[in-house]
Structure 1
Amino acid sequence: MATPGTDPVSPRVARLARGLKLGANSMLVTLFGDVVAPRPQAIWLGSLIRLAAPFGINDRLVRTATFRLTADDWLAATRMGRRSYYGLSDAGLQRVLHAGKRIYAGEASEWDGRWTLVMVRGDVRATVRQKLKRELLWEGFGAIAPGVMAHPQADLASLREILQAARAQDDVAVMEASSLEAFSIRPLQALMHQTFKLGDVAAAWQALLRRFAPLAEEAAGLAPADAFFVRTLLVHEYRRVLLRDPNLPEAMLPQDWPGRTARGLCHTLYGALLDASEDYLHRVVEAADGSLHDANRSLRLRFGAGAQAGND
């Protein structure tokens, strides 16, 4: 599957993607979020084609995806001579940074029992309502009733940015709520289980663990092309499941919740794959301002790995 100028991914590692549907738009969002956001640069289209090739995404699909993502204000295009370069737009950077807070976060802080409620006015235009719902779902809110979304540990700064970007400050009420001690918490636990379909989310986490756990011991020894492939696929699948997981507080989750194990595995694998995958990226990627910038320090802080940051 390799393109000229890149090393092939080994067949054994390539089998990790078996059975997955890897769409061009979604894969490019993963690449820009994981690779580009820590060092905002515009990447040559040819480099994007090389990075996408091991995942079965050909140059035509990459060109179509970059066009669509630019039209949807995820990417900004720059023309230099005969070459096209793509970087994150202001809106796209905001989206991936918001998502990054969830994807690469460390352990959640202790919950204070409060919920953030977002209530959208009933007369808001359908297009605004749909955009808000999409962005809030991405942020980890759950729809508990028509026009009402809830989050147990909302990032209020990110919420404010979402409302401002949608120009919906006057269309949305934001409130706090908490359970009353005189009443049982069990109905709330059942409501959260139904709202967020936790059974389906648990199954998705278990599938991720079955796919990636066998690589844990050998990840640090993988060749650069293999390390890049596994790192990207890991973040892609982790992000896909995380979008469905509300990251509920411990009090709302069963004791054997597989999301905890999945986060620990991602922390371990990402750190083990980082050096080799970065070597591959620096060798393959061309940016509008030259070579890919070094982002080792910020990358090593991901998944709460602050203790490892001194190795850069």
Structure 2
Amino acid sequence: MATRLDIDTVSPQLARLARGLKLGANSMLVTLFGDVVAPRPQALWLGSLIHLAAPFGINDRLVRTATFRLAADDWLSATRLGRRSYYGLSEAGLQRVTHAGKRIYAGEAAQWDGRWTLVLVRGDARATLRQQLKRELLWEGFGAIAPGVFAHPRADASSLREILTAAKALDYVAVMEAASLAAFSLEPLQVLMQQTFRLGDVAAAWQALLRRFSPLLDSAAGLAPVDAFFLRALLLHEYRRVLLRDPDLPEVLLPADWPGRTARMMCRDMYTALLDASEDYLHATVETADGPLQGARRELRKRFGAGTARPAGQPAA
């Protein structure tokens, strides 16, 4: 594959979508690694990362600094081949984006059984451990309902055990199940959820995302490859940002007009429409430590619980 350092131009209409957004280098690279690299664990050439980040206003200096910091924080692992540096997800980084991906790319949730998973952190746990657990549990979708008390209505037990094991916290945490008693009203719990999780703020963030991206849904399938990649990455970046603030409450605990439902469907439909053209762009642009970017379309099409066939005449990757 030929080396590419020239920057492809995103159409002005698409470029305007990024106005007013805070696109930090660290968080944007986490989005790219979680969406592009996680399905095919490869190490990307630093020059390719610089190329992919440029349309978002992130220059080469910021990319170099961000990759260094993410490697220091055990998100990325660095490999050097000759004079080139390559970055892939570390074991811990892959675990984090895989856990987050279960929420980001989830399809329709199963019927809630009314049970909660509670995680209670011992009061004598050291401050650094408590902070680490809070960060990892919030990333996993738990809500902090009180100091040292986290709750999730649909927790993945294996993911939770991996988090606690990696943090060496099994001796400092109690994990319990809870359920509402049928004899008592759900209304206080609904109010508590709205207050604890600031559902009004989350709803406003979902509505802002819909206003920004939904006008492009009908035209998404016809975009040029560079525009399709730009829109896919930007959409996922903002969707992830809002979703990780959303407590992922069951329907019975949400307002009837909850905009998160509409936002999830919009993101699913747009991601599906953008997938083939954006993947074509990535395969033409990205260099890895072991050659071309691997094909992952089959796995990517399973995201959001949706799957579409590639148009006739186009080969599957």
Deviation at 1:17, TM superposition (A): 0.5
Aligned ranges for residues 160-199 of structure 1 at < 5 Å? 160-199=161-200
In structure 2, the partner of 1:156 is: 157
CA deviation string 1:101-143 (max 9, x = no partner):
0000000000000000000000000000000000000111111
In structure 2, the partner of 1:132 is: 133
TM-score by structure 1 length?
A: 0.97
Structure 1 distance, partners of 2:148, 2:189, is 19
- The AA in structure 2 aligned to 1:272 is A
- The AA in structure 2 aligned to 1:45 is L
- The AA in structure 2 aligned to 1:211 is R
Deviation at 1:183, TM superposition (A): 1.1
CA deviation string 1:248-293 (max 9, x = no partner):
0000001110000000000100000001000110011000000000
In structure 2, the partner of 1:252 is: 253
Give the conservation status (yes or no) of the 8 Å contact 2:46–2:86: yes
1:145 aligns with 2:185: no
Deviation at 1:194, TM superposition (A): 1.0
Structure 2 distance, partners of 1:157, 1:210, is 37
Deviation at 1:309, TM superposition (A): 5.8
Structure 2 distance, partners of 1:286, 1:310, is 24
In structure 2, the partner of 1:12 is: 13
Two-structure CA RMSD over aligned residues (Å): 1.1
Structure 2 distance, partners of 1:73, 1:189, is 38
Deviation at 1:57, TM superposition (A): 0.2
Q: Which runs of 5+ in 1 are unaligned?
A: none
In structure 2, the partner of 1:38 is: 39
In structure 1, the partner of 2:69 is: 68
Structure 2 distance, partners of 1:4, 1:139, is 36
In structure 1, the partner of 2:23 is: 22
Q: Percent identity?
A: 79
Structure 1 distance, partners of 2:159, 2:205, is 26
- The AA in structure 2 aligned to 1:262 is A
In structure 2, the partner of 1:99 is: 100
Structure 1 distance, partners of 2:310, 2:20, is 38
In structure 1, the partner of 2:298 is: 297
Change in 2 beyond 3 A, CA 1:221/1:310? closer
Give the conservation status (yes or no) of the 8 Å contact 1:17–1:233: yes
Give the match's secondary structure for 1:61: helix
Aligned ranges for residues 37-56 of structure 1 at < 5 Å? 37-56=38-57
Give the match's secondary structure for 1:143: strand
Change in 2 beyond 3 A, CA 1:13/1:310? closer
In structure 1, the partner of 2:288 is: 287
Change in 2 beyond 3 A, CA 1:157/1:96? same
Structure 1 distance, partners of 2:142, 2:197, is 9
In structure 1, the partner of 2:218 is: 217
Give the match's secondary structure for 1:175: strand
Give the conservation status (yes or no) of the 8 Å contact 1:70–1:77: yes
1:278 aligns with 2:268: no
Deviation at 1:5, TM superposition (A): 3.4
Give the match's secondary structure for 2:218: coil
CA deviation string 1:186-215 (max 9, x = no partner):
111111111111000000000000000000
Deviation at 1:45, TM superposition (A): 0.2
Structure 2 distance, partners of 1:198, 1:309, is 37
- The AA in structure 1 aligned to 2:6 is G
Structure 2 distance, partners of 1:42, 1:309, is 28
Aligned residues: 309
Structure 2 distance, partners of 1:193, 1:79, is 49
Deviation at 1:310, TM superposition (A): 7.5
- The AA in structure 1 aligned to 2:290 is D
Structure 2 distance, partners of 1:169, 1:57, is 40
Give the conservation status (yes or no) of the 8 Å contact 2:207–2:259: yes
Structure 2 distance, partners of 1:309, 1:97, is 25
Structure 1 distance, partners of 2:309, 2:188, is 43
- The AA in structure 1 aligned to 2:33 is F
In structure 2, the partner of 1:87 is: 88
- The AA in structure 2 aligned to 1:158 is S
Give the conservation status (yes or no) of the 8 Å contact 1:117–1:174: yes
CA deviation string 1:44-91 (max 9, x = no partner):
000000000000000000000000000000000000000000000000
Give the match's secondary structure for 2:268: helix
Deviation at 1:4, TM superposition (A): 4.1
Give the match's secondary structure for 1:170: helix
